[in-house]
Structure 1
Amino acid sequence: MTFRKLALAALLALAPAALSAQQMDAVPDRAAGEGEGPFPRMLIAGATVVEGSGAPPAGPIDILVENNRIAALYPGGAPASVRNSASKVVEAGGMYALPGFVDTHGHNGDPSKANQPSYGYKLWLAHGVTTVRGVSFYFGPNQPDLTDTARSAANTIAAPRLIPYAVFGDKWSRGAPDSPAKAREWVRWAKAQGYWGIKFFNSATPDVLEAALDEAETQQMGTVAHLAQTGVAEMNAAEAVDLGLDGVTHFYGHFESLLKDGALPYYPEDYNYFDEQSRFGWVARLAPQAVEPGSEEWDAYVDALVESGVTLSPTFNIYSASRDVMAAKNRDWHARYSLPSLMDFYAPSATNHGSYYKDWSTEDEVAWRNFYDKWFQLTKDFHRKGGRVTAGSDPGYIYQTWGFAYIGELEMLREAGLAPLEVIRAATLDGAREIYEPRGVEPPMGRIAVGQLADLVIVPENPLANLKVLYGTGHTRLNYETGAIEQVGGVRWTVKDGIVYDAPQLLESVAAMVEAQKAAR
């Protein structure tokens, strides 16, 4: 086996989810009472609207939805004739309405963590996520990526809108696409199956990657890459973007493009990529090897990224436990909403991907905090100069549970320096544009505007003042008048395709899954 094939096998075994022969349980049909609508005419009344493009909040506004489209916006309130003609009125006075959130980095296929995919789908919906790009949702052949996508589009399951990407070389049975001709063949095959785009793991030689990227553009398919350490010596982020890559996810490839000394990163003599504590412990030691923010080389790299039109989806949250693993494993939501099997997967393990805290020290955490400082600065500089940043959560690993992880990503985008309105734009319009731009069209969702799909999030508290109110567990606040400790916030309703989902009800169904698994044990 060549090193490239060995590297691909290793990446698909270690990086998101295993290529398991196990099948997930089928997602059950949407039950009666699980979401209402779509309605011929629905009025969402009295909300303050945060419309998604970065425009400031405005309200009260009544939003008229006809079937699955926003038909009109009425500042100050709709006429009585309009209100009386609505078959459903959602009373949202004093609440905030935002476009449905877009998660640009999703997975949902590993039976050892959560055998029922509706667990993740419902947690996404309960946190206002109405569109998810799966990179991939499932790994390996004969998996239900495309059937789940079709069922979600038909609204026969309770799930966000699903955008299926396939990992380069995965899904088919014709061998590794290890030549430019075969790379083009695989891309055309993936397009014909119904995949919208491709996720790369640095498993291709530069000539093969170049051919695949070129063919993807011809086929109007999106491309995104996790430029892993096993291939970054031949293809860092600067080089991949030069070849036409649409998006870089995580941090991989950036600092390797900015090394102070030499062409390759330094690794200690006992480094072992297949030992994930070694792998991730040394990720943080990469930052000091890169040039400093504000240097000529740093600014030139940021400028080149912006000029290329590449999108960054940093997924800050998925590695955040490395800064404080004790806090991550004791999050508010684990007791009620994280499955026991998922908590087992998160625990230190020699085999589970991302479960690498086998002997995690203060020195490791300090190194990661310093790493985040530089990663945040890179993202902030890129965004400030006009680059597009989107919100992806990569859930199901490293103490990051579906839905909750997405809100954590919004908080970390804020920490990186995006203003609250910029965070919401990253989570809505910019995420939608990243997905639809390769197809040559403006997205049908991502804003609260006439003609857009009826994808909405309705929240009792103001998320611009405090993103924590978007967590399903809400936000803890002391009531100064009564002295009571209150739990406030949480999404109240998520509207996807004109269907109104009761977010607390979705969370209760997830809690029931957790309790059932605990009882079975």
Structure 2
Amino acid sequence: MKFAELVLAAAAMLGAGLANAQSMQPVPDRAEGEGPYPTLIVSGATMIEGSGAPPMGPVDIVIEGNRITAIHGGGAPAETRAKAARIIHAKGMTVMPGFVDTHGHNGDPSKAAQPSYGYKLWLAHGVTSVRGVSFYFGPGQGDLSDAQRSRSNTITAPRLFPYSVFGDKWDGGAIDSEAKAREWVRWAKARGFWGIKFFNSHGADILGAALDEADKQGLGTVSHLAQPGVQRVNAAKAVELGMDGITHFYGHFESLLDESALPRYPKGYNYFDEQSRFGWVARLADQVVEPGSEQWNAYIDHLIESGVTLSPTFNIYSASRDVMAAKNRDWHARYTLPSLMDFYAPSATNHGSYYKDWSTEDEVAWRKFYRYWFDLTKEFHRRGGRVTVGSDPGYIYQTWGFAYVGELEMLREAGLEPLEVIRAATVSGAQEIYDPRGETAPMGTIEVGKLADLVIVPGNPLDNLKLLYGTGHTRLNYETGEIEQVGGVRWTIKDGIVYDAPALLEDVARMVEEQRAN
């Protein structure tokens, strides 16, 4: 088997559950959401508009069809309010741009066979745009049909921006030359994909040709620099070749090794054994230069100068530092499908289900690893690098929607300020998707003329990001002495269509109960 085929096979077996889209259940026609309206007003909320500007309010946001047409401090004129088909009274709430998830997948038939399960959970947590990397794997084209149906609002789903894994989905044979790489990129563009996800499986020459062609075609590029190929292309090399984005941690630490050119693997290491793979990767922190050192700073400068975007997906590996907490999250009982819980459980085959003998030493190693990873991300961001929010749901006890909020919390833990976290979740993600096309993102901020993609939540998430979880936040009411649940997104607006977030969660709870009953 050629090297590229080996790495793609590893990705198929370990990295994504590469299920044929045709095996998934069809997404039903939309039955949820109201609107768009000739005139809709979100009234009385405090606005966080997405660019990093401080909160301001109360404001009235006027929406006509699917566009924001006016923003009034204090309140809209009486004549505007009089003609509104609907007014959402949002006093005491916060309105933000709809969130952008830059790292999405659907399930597969063994985990979550109905894609609307994930789509509704995303919307219920305020996520109105998702970049799929990929939504589906294999020869099926569910990515494209779902994206088209979402654009026309005939399904209940966020905006869907489909990327394809390099070399996937076509029948033109192996990518074994620079010419073939360019041919595949042109094919992907013609099919309607917005970009490409790369595993570093083809070497620098072929990867460079593909990246060059992607740039010419206006396709975005993002990489998961898998360990079997990182000796050929690490993150430092990938950005030199023109990679737009780096997701996860792969490739960074291999660019920062202290005393060797290659990582030092322990005796008996086996990449295909995920306990070995993930248990060892945290020990990379013991092999790299110290944060703040000359080499560390030079690497961050290199990333900044390249213009690369980092989408760390901190949350997807967070169980590694406390697996007991991860498998007992508040939402699993009501909102995580039994089939997902089965997939998450320790397994010799399921990707991310590697806690077969997970020890205190493993968790301590991961906590150290996170300290280095957080430091790298924070310093990159502090120097002007763009960081976006990706959740990579459906693996390692991370369920759609809830995982996204978890990523927001971990960006805060890494050192981003709350306003910076919201910016990463909104305009930064929108720009990452649209910049390769040379276009200004039509969403990501609350501005006149932008698409009406909004999330409305009781309270102020800048004070407490936990207010965004669908399960809410537990708090003592000092006036009544009662313990109560507060927060949870109240409404998500996508394309001017108003979705009742608690109702979407109830739909998901019914899916869980129906599966449990069967």
TM-score (norm 1): 0.99
User: 2: CA distance between counterparts of 1:180 and 1:127?
Assistant: 42
Displacement of 1:288: 1.3
User: Is the 1:391–1:410 contact (alpha carbons within 8 Å) kept by the matching residues of 2?
Assistant: yes
1:87-117 deviation line (CA, Å, top 9, x unaligned): 1111111110000000000000411110100
Counterpart position of 1:10: 10
Which of 432, 446, 449 does residue 447 from structure 2 map onto? 449
Structure 1 52/21 Cα, relative in aligned 2: closer, same or farther at 3 Å? closer
User: 2: CA distance between counterparts of 1:141 and 1:42?
Assistant: 41
Amino acid at match of 2:137: F
The question of 1:500 aligning with 2:512 is answered no
Counterpart position of 1:208: 206
User: 2: CA distance between counterparts of 1:378 and 1:297?
Assistant: 12
User: 1: CA distance between counterparts of 2:176 and 2:243?
Assistant: 18
The question of 1:28 aligning with 2:28 is answered yes
Secondary structure at the aligned position of 1:360 is classed as: coil
Amino acid at match of 2:324: M
Structure 1: stretches of 5+ with no match in the other structure: none
User: 2: CA distance between counterparts of 1:455 and 1:506?
Assistant: 17
Which of 369, 392, 395 does residue 394 from structure 1 map onto? 392
Amino acid at match of 2:123: L
Amino acid at match of 1:285: R
User: Is the 2:21–2:140 contact (alpha carbons within 8 Å) kept by the matching residues of 1?
Assistant: no
1:46-67 deviation line (CA, Å, top 9, x unaligned): 0100000000000000000010
User: Is the 1:108–1:137 contact (alpha carbons within 8 Å) kept by the matching residues of 2?
Assistant: yes
1:316-339 deviation line (CA, Å, top 9, x unaligned): 000000000000000000000000
Structure 1 450/413 Cα, relative in aligned 2: closer, same or farther at 3 Å? same
Which of 173, 176, 179 does residue 174 from structure 2 map onto? 176
Counterpart position of 1:331: 329
User: Is the 2:344–2:396 contact (alpha carbons within 8 Å) kept by the matching residues of 1?
Assistant: yes
User: Is the 1:238–1:254 contact (alpha carbons within 8 Å) kept by the matching residues of 2?
Assistant: yes
User: Is the 2:197–2:224 contact (alpha carbons within 8 Å) kept by the matching residues of 1?
Assistant: yes
Amino acid at match of 2:68: I
Identity value in percent: 76
The question of 1:290 aligning with 2:264 is answered no
Counterpart position of 1:413: 411
User: 2: CA distance between counterparts of 1:282 and 1:22?
Assistant: 36
Counterpart position of 1:254: 252
Which of 134, 156, 171 does residue 136 from structure 1 map onto? 134
User: 2: CA distance between counterparts of 1:486 and 1:188?
Assistant: 55
Structure 2: stretches of 5+ with no match in the other structure: none
User: Is the 1:69–1:451 contact (alpha carbons within 8 Å) kept by the matching residues of 2?
Assistant: yes
Amino acid at match of 1:358: K
Secondary structure at the aligned position of 1:396 is classed as: coil
The question of 1:96 aligning with 2:97 is answered no
Mean Cα deviation higher: 91-100 or 474-483: 474-483
Which of 376, 379, 383 does residue 381 from structure 2 map onto? 383
Amino acid at match of 2:12: L
User: Is the 2:309–2:386 contact (alpha carbons within 8 Å) kept by the matching residues of 1?
Assistant: yes
Q: For the aligned residues, what is the CA RMSD?
A: 0.8
1:355-379 deviation line (CA, Å, top 9, x unaligned): 1000000000000000000000000
User: 2: CA distance between counterparts of 1:74 and 1:21?
Assistant: 45
User: 1: CA distance between counterparts of 2:271 and 2:401?
Assistant: 30
Displacement of 1:311: 0.1
User: 2: CA distance between counterparts of 1:206 and 1:304?
Assistant: 18
User: Is the 1:22–1:111 contact (alpha carbons within 8 Å) kept by the matching residues of 2?
Assistant: no
Amino acid at match of 1:312: L
Amino acid at match of 1:4: A
Mean Cα deviation higher: 10-19 or 487-496: 10-19
Amino acid at match of 1:18: L
Displacement of 1:221: 0.1
User: 2: CA distance between counterparts of 1:456 and 1:11?
Assistant: 35
User: Is the 2:20–2:136 contact (alpha carbons within 8 Å) kept by the matching residues of 1?
Assistant: no
Counterpart position of 1:48: 46
Q: How does 1:173-322 map to 2 (within 5 A)?
A: 173-322=171-320
Displacement of 1:21: 7.7
User: 2: CA distance between counterparts of 1:473 and 1:21?
Assistant: 30
Displacement of 1:3: 2.9
User: 1: CA distance between counterparts of 2:362 and 2:54?
Assistant: 41
Displacement of 1:6: 1.6
User: Is the 1:97–1:459 contact (alpha carbons within 8 Å) kept by the matching residues of 2?
Assistant: yes
User: 2: CA distance between counterparts of 1:57 and 1:50?
Assistant: 5
Counterpart position of 2:67: 69
Secondary structure at the aligned position of 1:238 is classed as: helix
Amino acid at match of 1:30: R
User: 2: CA distance between counterparts of 1:360 and 1:469?
Assistant: 31
Which of 343, 368, 371 does residue 370 from structure 1 map onto? 368
User: Is the 1:141–1:171 contact (alpha carbons within 8 Å) kept by the matching residues of 2?
Assistant: yes
User: 2: CA distance between counterparts of 1:394 and 1:231?
Assistant: 21
Secondary structure at the aligned position of 2:276 is classed as: helix
Counterpart position of 2:425: 427
Displacement of 1:461: 1.3
Counterpart position of 1:149: 147
Counterpart position of 1:60: 58
Amino acid at match of 2:63: V
Which of 444, 462, 480 does residue 482 from structure 1 map onto? 480
Amino acid at match of 2:213: E
Secondary structure at the aligned position of 1:265 is classed as: coil
Displacement of 1:18: 2.5
Secondary structure at the aligned position of 2:463 is classed as: coil
User: 2: CA distance between counterparts of 1:434 and 1:499?
Assistant: 24
Amino acid at match of 2:27: V
Secondary structure at the aligned position of 1:240 is classed as: helix
Structure 1 23/245 Cα, relative in aligned 2: closer, same or farther at 3 Å? same
User: Is the 1:23–1:143 contact (alpha carbons within 8 Å) kept by the matching residues of 2?
Assistant: no
User: Is the 1:12–1:18 contact (alpha carbons within 8 Å) kept by the matching residues of 2?
Assistant: yes
User: 1: CA distance between counterparts of 2:290 and 2:444?
Assistant: 35
Secondary structure at the aligned position of 1:230 is classed as: helix
User: 2: CA distance between counterparts of 1:351 and 1:95?
Assistant: 45
Secondary structure at the aligned position of 2:225 is classed as: coil
User: 2: CA distance between counterparts of 1:340 and 1:190?
Assistant: 36
User: 2: CA distance between counterparts of 1:112 and 1:132?
Assistant: 22
User: Is the 1:19–1:139 contact (alpha carbons within 8 Å) kept by the matching residues of 2?
Assistant: yes
Counterpart position of 1:356: 354
Give the total of aligned pairs. Answer: 518
Secondary structure at the aligned position of 1:113 is classed as: coil
User: 2: CA distance between counterparts of 1:253 and 1:19?
Assistant: 26
User: Is the 1:13–1:19 contact (alpha carbons within 8 Å) kept by the matching residues of 2?
Assistant: no
Displacement of 1:22: 6.1
TM-score (norm 2): 0.99
Displacement of 1:481: 2.2
Displacement of 1:269: 2.0
User: 2: CA distance between counterparts of 1:151 and 1:60?
Assistant: 35
User: 1: CA distance between counterparts of 2:369 and 2:3?
Assistant: 29
User: 2: CA distance between counterparts of 1:4 and 1:455?
Assistant: 40
